[in-house]
Structure 1
Amino acid sequence: MEFSNSPATAVSTGRLRLAQGLVLLFHLTGFVGLAFSQDKAFYLKYTPLTLLLTAGLLAAFQPMRGLVFWLFVAQTFLLGMVAEVVGTNTGLLFGHYIYGATLGPQYMSAPWLIGLNWVLVTYLAGTLAAYLPASGVVRVLVGAVLMVGFDLCMEPVAGRYDFWHWTGDLVPLRNFRDWFLLALVLQVLFVRTPFLKRNPLAPMVYLVQLLFFFGLGLLAP
């Protein structure tokens, strides 16, 4: 029996191709608008929507979304928000920075969407690392490195597009240190939470977002 010819597989493949096309469309449109449009504010106002739609698509392709999976999502969101509230209000984590208006409504100077962003980056990096035929310790380390790599691509453009701003417009090295330490904690949580660590949409989402910010960084004036 050829599984690839079964109706269920065809529908699944069709859904995946549609989702991949939507992810590519969101980010390509945003990239062109932010890189070349004179009215960048028009495209920036859709940043929250793009983040929410991407999260929704990823959730749709996560198999067996049971209570344990949503518990992981809630815990990661909470840890991310706590870290950001501490960081923005005390400077004890990451350094001294403030958030701009692009990411939308805030709680104690930290946008609610930054909590979702921590969930997405943790999930994407952890899912990619889960494909490695390696121990849990190695997957935790690889996932944490992938998370820090994502931040490295975001930092050069964050201030320009009013995501966040560093005091003195200089990203401190401690930001990457603290990112790595928090990423380790979140990746341990990801590895130890018993849900299926497979998502066919995750590799493309991580790559597209990485290229999105890396490309904008290359076009910096």
Structure 2
Amino acid sequence: MERKKSLRYSKTNVSVFVIVLFHIVGLTGFLVPFLRPLFLQVVPFHLLLMLFLLLINHHGRFSKLILFAAIVMLSGFAAEWVGVHKHWLFGNYVYGKTLGFKLKDIPLMIGVNWFLLIYSTGVFIKKVPVKEAWLKIVIGSILLVLLDLLIEPVAIHFDYWHWLSGFVPIKNYIGWVLVSLPLLAVFQLFDFRFQNKVAPVLLLVQFLFFAVLNFV
């Protein structure tokens, strides 16, 4: 038992170190002009690495986690398809090249990104000292909207996506609420008992990463 705890602790520490290190290296690559093209090309692989680190640090039934991940990824991809092709969610926008291979004009990595955000936020709000599940979900949705406020200028500048209106519409943030609320509710329904200690770190590092890119 002690050996298992020690191995789990070591895995968590290594994963946290890798998350912090790769985001620091990523910041350097994004901010140094001659490195930028290379680092923009590896953004999809960075997302896959973050996905791997979250998955290996999840405790409990792995099949349950995979089902939840599938729900979030498919829902996130569907929401983006509606956003891009119907403009019912988020607004009028198109994806650039940075997120990699596209299916129906939507990067496959966008589903992964939605999972990273929803899962990390879901784990974080489990620790929020309020009893009402609905309030935790609302807090989580607000956190994601705040994160998107930081993401948008960076995403536009580095060709993640572009708004055809030339500015980020209020509809985008309403769309984030409409998508994140039900997905965070699903996270609550899955009731993951053993919390992933790496997930909140990833959420915090994402906030810091995009904040630095906004203000440097």
TM-score computed with the length of structure 1 as normaliser: 0.92
Question: 8 Å contact 2:72–2:114 — kept in the other structure?
Answer: yes
Taking the aligned partners of 1:112 and 1:102, their CA distance within structure 2 comes to: 12
Q: Name the SS for the 1:159 alignment partner.
A: helix
Mapped partners of 1:17, 1:37: distance in 2: 32
DSSP 3-state at the match of 1:168: coil
The number of equivalent residue pairs is: 215
Please tell me the residue identity of whatever aligns with 1:153: L
Q: Which runs of 4+ in 1 moved over 6 A?
A: none
Amino acid at match of 2:153: P
Q: Which amino acid aligns with 2:160?
A: F
* 2:209 paired residue number: 212
SS in 2 for 1:91: coil
In 1, distance between residues paired with 2:166 and 2:34?
23
Alpha-carbon displacement from aligned partner over 1:116-167 (angstroms, at most 9, x marks no partner) = 1111111011110011242211111111112112211100111111100001
Paired position in structure 2 for 1:198? 195
Q: Is the 8 A contact 1:130 1:197 kept in 2?
A: no
| Alignment gaps of 5+ in structure 2 | none
Partner of 1:73: 69
Give the structure 1 partner of residue 20 of structure 2: 24
The answer to whether residue 172 in structure 2 is matched with residue 179 in structure 1 is no
Contact preservation (8 Å) 2:133, 2:188? yes
Q: Name the aligned partner's letter for residue 18 of structure 1.
A: V
Q: 1:103 to 1:142 in 2, by over 3 A?
A: same
| 1:75-126 Cα deviation digits (max 9, x unpaired) | 1111111110111112111000000011011111111100111111110111
CA distance in 2, matches of 1:215, 1:112: 26
Q: Residues of 2 paired with 1:89 and 1:30: CA distance?
A: 31
Alignment of 1:48-87 (within 5 A): 48-87=44-83
Correspondence for 1:142: 139
Residues 29-40 of structure 1 correspond to what in structure 2 (within 5 A)? Answer: 29-40=25-36
- 1:7 CA drift (Å): 3.2
CA contact (8 A) 1:80 1:115 kept: yes
Unaligned runs of 5+ in 1: none
Residues 164-204 of structure 1: per-residue CA shift (max 9 Å, x gap): 00013200011001111111111111111233361111121
Residue 16 of structure 1: CA displacement? 1.4
The amino acid across from 1:23 in the alignment is I
Equivalent residues of 1:88, 1:98 under 8 A apart: yes
State the alpha-carbon separation in 2 of the partners of residues 124 and 183 from structure 1.
12
Residues 87 and 93, structure 1, Cα contact 8 Å, conserved in 2: yes
1:129 to 108, 116, 125: 125
The amino acid across from 2:143 in the alignment is: L
Deviates more, 1:51-60 or 1:30-39: 30-39
TM-score if structure 2 supplies the norm length? 0.94
Partner of 1:160: 157
Q: Which amino acid letter does the alignment assign opposite residue 74 of structure 1?
A: A
- Aligned partner letter, 1:35: L
CA distance in 2, matches of 1:49, 1:56: 10
Q: Percent identity?
A: 33
Asked if 2 retains the 8 angstrom alpha-carbon contact of 1:148 and 1:180, the reply is yes
